[in-house]
Structure 1
Amino acid sequence: MESRTPPSQGDSSALSEGRRHKTGEGYVPLLMISSLCLFIGSISSSLLAKYYFIHKGSSRWVSTWVQSAGFPLLFPFIFVPYLLKRTQRRPFTHFTPKLWVLSIFVGLMLGVNNLLFSWGTSYLPVSTSSLLLSTQLLFNLILSVLIVKQKITFSNLNCVILLTLSSVLLALSSSSDRPPGLTRAKYFIGFFSTVGAGLLFALYLPVMEKIYRKVYCYAMVVEMQLVMEIAATVLATVGMIADGGFAEMKQEGESVFDKGPRVYYATVAMTVACWQMCFMGTAGMVFMTSSLTGGICMTALLAMNVLGGVVVYRDDFGGVKIVSTVLYIWGFCSYVYGMHLKNTKHQETKNKPSVTPPGSGPGNRHGPAMEMASSAQMPDVASVEV
C-alpha cells in the first residue's frame, strides 16, 4: 500500500507533520477527541435508532442509510486545512490503487454490517441488542490474533470469556424478553442479525488496524473513512431504491411517524451526525492505539447503552440481564486492571537506573546494547511506527 515512488521534499515534510499526530504533542488531544466522539456518537446513535422504530418508523433501509450518509461532514476536515495553507499535504496524497480498492471493499462490508444492525435494532430492546453486541469482543480478539498477531494475555482472555458467558446467559433467557406482539421467529432474526453485526464489526477493526500500519498520517485516516462511507452509502442507496425506501421515507415523515414531520427529519439528521461521530471516533481509536483497544472501548460503551435503554425507554432490566451486566463489568474491569499492571511494569522498567556490571567499562559495547535491546522489547502505544 505504500507508494513505490519516493516522496518529494514537500511530501516528506507533510509525512513528518502527519506522524507528529501519532507520536508527538498532538497524540493525547487527538486521542481524547476520538474517545469523546466515540462516547457521544455510540450512545446517541443507539438511542436515536431505537427512537425511530418506537415512533412507528419501520424502514430498515432508512435506518441503514443514515449510518453512513454523514460522509459530507468530512469534506471540511479534508479540504479546508489545505485550502487555508494549514498543511502542505494535498488531500488523498499517497493513495495507491490497492488502498482505494481496500477502502471500497471495507466500506461495502461496513454497509452490510449497518443493515444487520438495523434489523437487530428494529426487533430487540436497546439493552438486549447492546449486550449481544458485546460478543464482538470475542470475535475481535480471535481475529486480532489471526490478522495483526495480537498477544493473548490473562486479562484480555478473562475479559472475553466473561463477556461471552454474559451473552450466552442472555440468549438462554431470550424467550421471556420478546417485546409484545413480536413473533419468536422475528425475535431470533433480530438476535442473530445483531450477533452477525458484531462479527462483521469485529472483522472491520483488525482489518483497519492492518491497513493503518501503512497509513502516513491521521489525515489519511479521515480520507479513507470518507471513501468507505461513500461505498456504504451507495450500497444502502441501491437497497433503498430497489425497496422503495426514499418514497417510504417521505411517507413516514408525513403520515406515519407519530411525532410529526419536523421531529422525523430532525431525528434523521441527528442520527446521521451521531453515527458519523461514532465511526470517526472508532477510526481514531484504532489508528491511535490498536483494534483490540478500540473493541474494548466500544464494549465499554455497551453498558452505557444498556443503562440508556433502561432510563430512556424503560427496558426491562431484571434477572438475567443484571447478572449479564455484572459479568460484563467484571470482564471489562479485569482487562483495564491488566492494562494498568502492564503499563506500570513498563514505566518501572523505563525508570529503573541501569547498573553497570563488573568488568563493563566504557570500552565494553555489550552492556549498553543489551540495555537498549531490553527497552526496545516493550514499545509504548504512542510510539507505534506508522
Structure 2
Amino acid sequence: MQIYTNVVASAVSVAALFATGEWRAVRGELAGYRSGTARYAATLLGIAVAWQAATLGMVRLVTRASSLFANVTSTLGLPLVPIFAVPLFGDKMTGIKVVAMLMAVWGFLSYVYQHYLDDRRVQDARENERAPGSCSLGARADGKPVDCACTTMPIRDSAVAEQGAPRV
C-alpha cells in the first residue's frame, strides 16, 4: 500500500518539476557536479532507493511494533544526520542543529524512561499479586477464617470501569 503512495508522490513531483520549468535547472546541476554525470545519476538513484527503503522500513515498524515506536526510531535518527554530515560532507555545525539534536535525544530518552516506568509498574503489580493477603471470606467448618489474596486487578476497559470497578 505504501508503494502506491510513493509512486503517486513521485509522479506529482515530476509533474511539478515540468510544470514549473525547474527541469531546465537539472541540466545545469548535472553539468556543475564535480564527480561527473554518472555519479550524479548514481547519487540521485541512491537517494531514491534509500528513501523508499526507509519509508517501507517505517511501515514495517508500524505493522510489527507500533506507530509510536516507528516515530521514536525516526526521531532517534534525527541527531545522527547532522553528526555524520559534518565529517562526511564538511557541513557546519550550527546552533540550530545542536538544539534540534538535543531535542531529538531528549524525546528519545523520554520514551525510554516512560517504558522503564511502565515496566516497573507491571513488575510491582505482579509482585503485589503474588503476596498473600489477609482478608477473610468467612469461616470454615472448624471456625478458622478463610484467607485470600486481596489484590484488586485494575480494569483497563473503560466500559467495564465505568460500572464502578477501579480504573488504572
Same fold (TM over 0.5): yes
Distance 1:287 1:314 in 2: 37
Distance 2:130 2:137 in 1: 18
Which of these residues, 36, 47, 57, is aligned with residue 271 of structure 1? 47
Q: Which runs of 5+ in 2 are unaligned?
A: 139-148, 158-168
Task: Decide whether aligned partners of structure 1 residues 251 and 325 sit closer, same or farther in structure 2, where only a CA change above 3 A counts.
Answer: closer
Distance 2:86 2:125 in 1: 45
Is 1:233 aligned to 2:35, yes or no?
A: no
Conserved? CA contact 2:75–2:107, under 8 Å = no
Is 1:289 aligned to 2:62, yes or no?
A: no
Q: Structure 1, residues 333-369: CA drift from partner, whole Å, max 9, x if none?
A: 2331122211232244356427575329xxxxxx9xx
Deviation for aligned residue 1:239: 0.8
Distance 1:355 1:235 in 2: 65
Deviation for aligned residue 1:277: 1.3
- Aligned residue for 2:130, secondary structure, equals coil
Distance 1:290 1:329 in 2: 20
List aligned pairs for 1:106-125, cutoff 5 A.
none
Residue of structure 2 in register with 1:377 after alignment: 156
Task: Decide whether aligned partners of structure 1 residues 284 and 247 sit closer, same or farther in structure 2, where only a CA change above 3 A counts.
Answer: same
One-letter amino acid of the counterpart of residue 341, structure 1: L
Residue of structure 2 in register with 1:280 after alignment: 56
TM-score, scaled to structure 1: 0.32
Is 1:334 aligned to 2:113, yes or no?
A: no
Distance 1:323 1:289 in 2: 29
Is 1:299 aligned to 2:78, yes or no?
A: no
Task: Decide whether aligned partners of structure 1 residues 274 and 323 sit closer, same or farther in structure 2, where only a CA change above 3 A counts.
Answer: closer
Task: Decide whether aligned partners of structure 1 residues 237 and 303 sit closer, same or farther in structure 2, where only a CA change above 3 A counts.
Answer: same
One-letter amino acid of the counterpart of residue 232, structure 1: A
Task: Decide whether aligned partners of structure 1 residues 242 and 318 sit closer, same or farther in structure 2, where only a CA change above 3 A counts.
Answer: closer
My pick for the range that moved more, 303-312 or 326-335, is 326-335
Q: Structure 1, residues 153-177: CA drift from partner, whole Å, max 9, x if none?
A: xxxxxxxxxxxxxxxxxxxxxxxxx
Distance 1:342 1:288 in 2: 20
Residue of structure 2 in register with 1:311 after alignment: 87
One-letter amino acid of the counterpart of residue 62, structure 2: V
Larger radius of gyration: 2
Distance 2:102 2:16 in 1: 39
Distance 1:228 1:347 in 2: 42
Task: Decide whether aligned partners of structure 1 residues 287 and 312 sit closer, same or farther in structure 2, where only a CA change above 3 A counts.
Answer: same
User: Percent same amino acid at aligned positions?
Assistant: 23
Distance 2:88 2:65 in 1: 32
Q: Structure 1, residues 182-226: CA drift from partner, whole Å, max 9, x if none?
A: xxxxxxxxxxxxxxxxxxxxxxxxxxxxxxxxxxxxxxxxxx102
Deviation for aligned residue 1:314: 2.8
Task: Decide whether aligned partners of structure 1 residues 318 and 273 sit closer, same or farther in structure 2, where only a CA change above 3 A counts.
Answer: closer
Higher relative contact order (CA 8 A, sep 6+): 1
Which of these residues, 358, 371, 377, is aligned with residue 136 of structure 2? 358
List aligned pairs for 1:56-71, cutoff 5 A.
none
Distance 2:96 2:13 in 1: 36
Distance 1:272 1:333 in 2: 31
List aligned pairs for 1:152-301, cutoff 5 A.
224-244=1-21, 248-249=25-26, 252-253=29-30, 255-301=31-77
Q: Which runs of 5+ in 1 are unaligned?
A: 1-223, 361-366, 379-386
TM-score, scaled to structure 2: 0.66
Task: Decide whether aligned partners of structure 1 residues 355 and 294 sit closer, same or farther in structure 2, where only a CA change above 3 A counts.
Answer: same
Is 1:346 aligned to 2:122, yes or no?
A: yes
- Tell me which protein shows more helix as a share of its residues: 1
- Aligned residue for 1:377, secondary structure, equals coil
- Tell me which protein shows more strand as a share of its residues: 2
Deviation for aligned residue 1:257: 2.1
